[in-house]
Structures are given as C-alpha cells and as structure tokens.
Amino acid sequence: VAMAATRSVMRAVRVFEFGGPEVLKLQSDVLVPVPKENQVLIKVHACGVNPVETYIRSGTYARKPALPYTPGSDVAGVIVGVGEHVTAFKKGDRVFTLETVSGGYAEYAVAAANRVFPLPDKVDFRQGAAIGVPYFTAYRALFQKGCAKAGESVLVHGASGGVGLAACQIARACGLKVLGTAGTEEGMNVILRNGAHQAFNHRDPNYTERIKECTGPQGVDIIIEMLSNVNLDADLQLLSCSGRVMVVGCRGRIEINPRDTMSKESSIIGVSLFLATEEERHECAIAVLDGIEAGWLKPVVGLEYPLEKVAKAHEDIICSSGARGKTVLLL
C-alpha cells in the first residue's frame, strides 16, 4: 500500500466526453501508467497529432474509445521501464511508436513492445513523432494495398501534410513518377523538396487540367487521396486504365458516377493502418528503418505546440489553410 501511495503523477490530456477541441483537458495529477508484460513505459519527448485523432475526439468516428481516454499514438521518447518478457528494449533506448496503450498526449506512455521501434540517432524526437502513422500509412497505401511498381506514376492529393510528404519520399525512392498537390506556394515548395517531380496548387480552378497535360492521355496510375469527400469524383477522371485511388482520408460524403470506374476498370481502395496484420506492420517498419538508414526518409515537422495548446493543435490541423509537414506536441 505504501508503494501505491508514492506512485508518481504526470501531466496528460484527458477526454471525458466527445465533442469539439475544448473537451481536451490537460490534467497534472494523472497516475503514471505501469507497463504490464510485453509492454514498455516511455518518457515522451514529442507526440504527433493526426487528423484521425480529431475525428475520434468528436465522437463521429467508427472506433470510439471508452471514456475517459488520452489521445495520441505517435510518440517519440526514451524507454524508462519495461514489463516482463520484453527483450527487444531496455531502459535508455530511444524509440518511436505506432500506437500506445495509455495515450501519447502525456509525459509518459505505455506501449506494446511490438508497436515500438528503435529511433536512430540521426532523427530527433520531433521527427520521431512524425514517423509512425504517416509513414506506415503511406507505405501501406502505395505498396500493400496500391501495388505500386517502379515506373508507375502517383498523384499525392494533399501532399504537404504528414502522410502526403511520407508518400512523396517513399514513392520517389522506389522509382515512381511523383506528382503532388498543395494549397499554398509554400506547400508546393515543400513537396518539391521532398520527392515530388511536379507540384500543383489545388486551389487553382484549372489544376486538374494541368495534371492531365502532365500525365498525357494515359492518366495517372495511383492517386493517394487525403480528402476523398472533395476529390474522388475528379480523381476518377485522372486515372489510367487499371488505375487506383487509395482513400487515405475522408471528411464526409461525395457523389460519384460508378461508370467512371467501368470505362477504365479502375479501383477505389480504402486504406486503414488499423487493419494491418503483424506481418504487414513488420514490413512497413523494415521499409521505414531502411529509408532512415539510406537517408531519403526525412520526416518534415510542421507546426509545434506545447501540451497546454493541444486544443489549438486540434483546431489548426483541421481548419488551417495548408499543411506543411507533421503537427507535433512537444513535452
């Protein structure tokens, strides 16, 4: 009992009800979680913010966590404790995660050891928090679900955010012709610096015509789509024969004409990292760690917020005029 009484507390964001960004409550008396078997405890230095976390928080997403909960899956930090049977990691190891058990918007987080990966020294913690969900999702969309091959063309629709930049870097390194769209001049420059051969401004009313001029009559082989509720109908017009749209992000409904898929035998394929098997996650991890080692995988960090400003981070990731890399919380 004496031990329990001295168990330390930490600052963590807690959600007690679903709703707008204001339901994110920073508390300073949350108990530091204890790693169970096959789990590790990480001192969090940075945590990525993903759009999906705003959907979950609002209560409109298919998966609803039990309340109260702490959001956050992409943490980067240092292991400070390991549970039983953990042999892959020890105290003091620098790591990044793909998921957490206790939530990443906190000073400490528990994660299953098989969702934790070594963070190479050449990558700082801010960048480490930009790897997990974006790069694993991009790799899954391109190769595990999109069957991308060297020599094919890919259009990354919404390329200046975390997943978009990851997709540009991976596709370029794997020999694809990479086109990207962004909503600002700055965003277009960022994607050109990160693997895109050509950039288009999706606020330009004629931008799809410009893409068609670039791809010629054959069209584009793969589209990585971050905002399918806006772009899916137009995407179907841009595809090649047997082309595929990979639906990575969506914020609502859209009307399309299924005949557009028949004329080219094209496919619309949903992508969910949540459904990846253990083998698929392992394949993603190897590709990502190889990319860091080779030097082409360089996470781009965009806006940074202290934990106190978490509500603002959630607001900005949905409402800002154009992404420029991955949004992170710094601890």
Q: Per the domain annotation, does 61 fall within a domain? A: yes
Please give the average per-residue pLDDT across 60-65, as a whole number: 90
Strand partners, 312: none
The verdict on 245 and 140 lying in the same domain is yes
**Does residue 128 have a pLDDT over 50?**
yes
pTM reported for the whole predicted model: 0.94
Q: Which of 118, 113, 141 is nearest to 38 (CA)?
A: 113
Q: How big, in percent rounded to 5, are the helix, strand and coil portions of the chain?
A: 35, 30, 35
Q: State phi, psi for 126 to the nearest 5 degrees.
A: -60, -45
Structural domain total, the chain: 2
Q: Any idea what the CATH number is for the domain that residue 145 is in?
A: 3.40.50.720
Say yes or no: 117 and 155 in one domain: no
Residue 78 maps to a domain: yes
What is the band of 5 on the pLDDT scale with cuts at 50, 70, 90?
A: low
Residue 165 shares a structural domain with residue 257: yes
Taking the CA atoms of the chain, what radius of gyration do you get in angstroms?
20
In this predicted structure, what is the pLDDT of residue 145? 98
Residue 111: inside a domain: yes
Q: Is 3 inside any structural domain?
A: no
If asked whether residues 85 and 119 sit together in one domain, one would say yes
- Domain annotation covers residue 21: yes
**Which helix (H) or strand (E) is 308 found in, with range?**
none
Please give the backbone phi and psi of residue 152, each rounded to the nearest 5 degrees, phi first: -80, 165
Give residue 63's pLDDT.
87
Degrees, nearest 5: CA angle 306-316-227: 135
Same domain (yes/no): 124, 150 = no
The CA distances from residue 232 to 223, 245, 248, 251, 255, in Å, are 10, 8, 11, 12, 8
Domain identity same for 150 and 263: yes
The H or E element containing residue 47 is strand 39-49
292 is a domain residue: no
139 shares a domain with 221:
yes
266 within some domain: yes
Single-letter amino acid code for the residue at 233: D
Give 2's pLDDT tier (boundaries 50, 70, 90): very low
Task: Say if residue 158 is in the same domain as residue 267.
Answer: yes
The answer on 160 and 88 residing in a single domain is no
Q: What pLDDT, in 10s, does the model give residues 240-296?
A: 999 999 999 999 999 999 999 999 999 999 999 999 999 999 999 999 999 999 999
Is there a single domain that holds both residue 94 and residue 211? Answer: no
Please report the pLDDT score of residue 329 as a whole number: 98
Indicate whether 230 belongs to any domain: yes
The CATH number given to whatever domain includes residue 309 is 3.90.180.10
pLDDT at 4: 52
Residues 110 and 185 in one domain: no
Domain with 15 in it = 9-130+299-330
Same domain, 13 and 109: yes
